[in-house]
Structure 1
Amino acid sequence: METEVLAAASEIDFSLWALFWRATFVVKIVMIMLFAASIWVWAILFQKVVQFRRARGNAAAFDRAFWSGEPLDELYEKIGDTPRSASERIFVAAMGEWNRSHRDDGGLIAGTQARIDRTMDVAISKERDRLAGGLTFLATVGSTAPFVGLFGTVWGIKHAFEQIALSGSTNLAVVAPGIAEALLATGIGLVAAIPAVVFYNKLSRDADRITGNFEAFADEFATILSRQLDAA
Structure 2
Amino acid sequence: MNPVFNMDAATLSPVALFLQADWVVKAVMFGLLLASIWTWTIIIAFSRRLGRTRKGMAKFERDFWKAEDIDAFHRIEGGNDLPSARVFAAGVKEWRRSTSSGQIDKSGTRERLATAMGAAVANEIDTLSDKLNVLATVGSVAPFVGLFGTVWGIMRSFTGIAQAQNSSLAVVAPGIAEALFATAIGLFAAIPAVIAYNRFSHGVNRIEAGLNRFADGFHTTLSRQLDGSR
TM interval, shorter chain, is over 0.9
Unaligned runs of at least 5 residues, structure 2: none
Match for 2:19 among 13, 18, 21? 21
The answer (yes or no) to whether the contact 2:10–2:16 under 8 Å persists in 1 is no
After the TM superposition, which of the residue ranges 204-213 and 10-19 deviates more from structure 2? 10-19
Name the SS of the counterpart of 2:44 in structure 1.
helix
> Which residue number in structure 2 is paired with residue 123 of structure 1?
120
The one-letter code matched in structure 1 to 2:115 is R
> Which residue number in structure 2 is paired with residue 168 of structure 1?
165
- 1:79 offset after TM fit, Å? 2.9
For residues 15 and 69 of structure 1, what CA distance do their matches in structure 2 show? 63
> Which residue number in structure 1 is paired with residue 104 of structure 2?
108
> Which residue number in structure 2 is paired with residue 180 of structure 1?
177
- 1:58 offset after TM fit, Å? 1.2
The answer (yes or no) to whether the contact 1:141–1:196 under 8 Å persists in 2 is yes
2:202 aligned with 1:205: yes
- 1:70 offset after TM fit, Å? 2.6
2:88 aligned with 1:91: yes
For residues 157 and 52 of structure 1, what CA distance do their matches in structure 2 show? 43
The answer (yes or no) to whether the contact 1:5–1:171 under 8 Å persists in 2 is no
For residues 216 and 4 of structure 1, what CA distance do their matches in structure 2 show? 68
For residues 28 and 48 of structure 1, what CA distance do their matches in structure 2 show? 30
Name the SS of the counterpart of 1:186 in structure 2.
helix
> Which residue number in structure 2 is paired with residue 194 of structure 1?
191
Runs of 4+ in 1 over 6 A off after TM superposition: 2-5
After the TM superposition, which of the residue ranges 193-202 and 59-68 deviates more from structure 2? 59-68
Name the SS of the counterpart of 1:231 in structure 2.
coil
The answer (yes or no) to whether the contact 2:60–2:84 under 8 Å persists in 1 is yes
> Which residue number in structure 2 is paired with residue 147 of structure 1?
144
The answer (yes or no) to whether the contact 1:83–1:92 under 8 Å persists in 2 is no
Name the SS of the counterpart of 2:67 in structure 1.
coil
Unaligned runs of at least 5 residues, structure 1: none
The answer (yes or no) to whether the contact 1:147–1:189 under 8 Å persists in 2 is yes
Instruction: Indicate how the Cα distance of structure 1 residues 146 and 11 shifts in structure 2: closer, same or farther if over 3 A, else same.
Output: closer
Matched pairs, number: 228
After the TM superposition, which of the residue ranges 121-130 and 11-20 deviates more from structure 2? 11-20
The one-letter code matched in structure 2 to 1:73 is D
Alignment TM-score, normalising by the size of structure 2: 0.93
Identity of aligned residues (%): 46
The answer (yes or no) to whether the contact 2:67–2:73 under 8 Å persists in 1 is no
The answer (yes or no) to whether the contact 1:103–1:109 under 8 Å persists in 2 is no
1:5-60 CA distances to partner (integer Å, 9 max, x unpaired)?
624x3477111111110111111111111111111111111111111111111111
The answer (yes or no) to whether the contact 1:145–1:193 under 8 Å persists in 2 is yes
Instruction: Indicate how the Cα distance of structure 1 residues 223 and 166 shifts in structure 2: closer, same or farther if over 3 A, else same.
Output: same
Instruction: Indicate how the Cα distance of structure 1 residues 61 and 12 shifts in structure 2: closer, same or farther if over 3 A, else same.
Output: closer
For residues 98 and 121 of structure 1, what CA distance do their matches in structure 2 show? 14
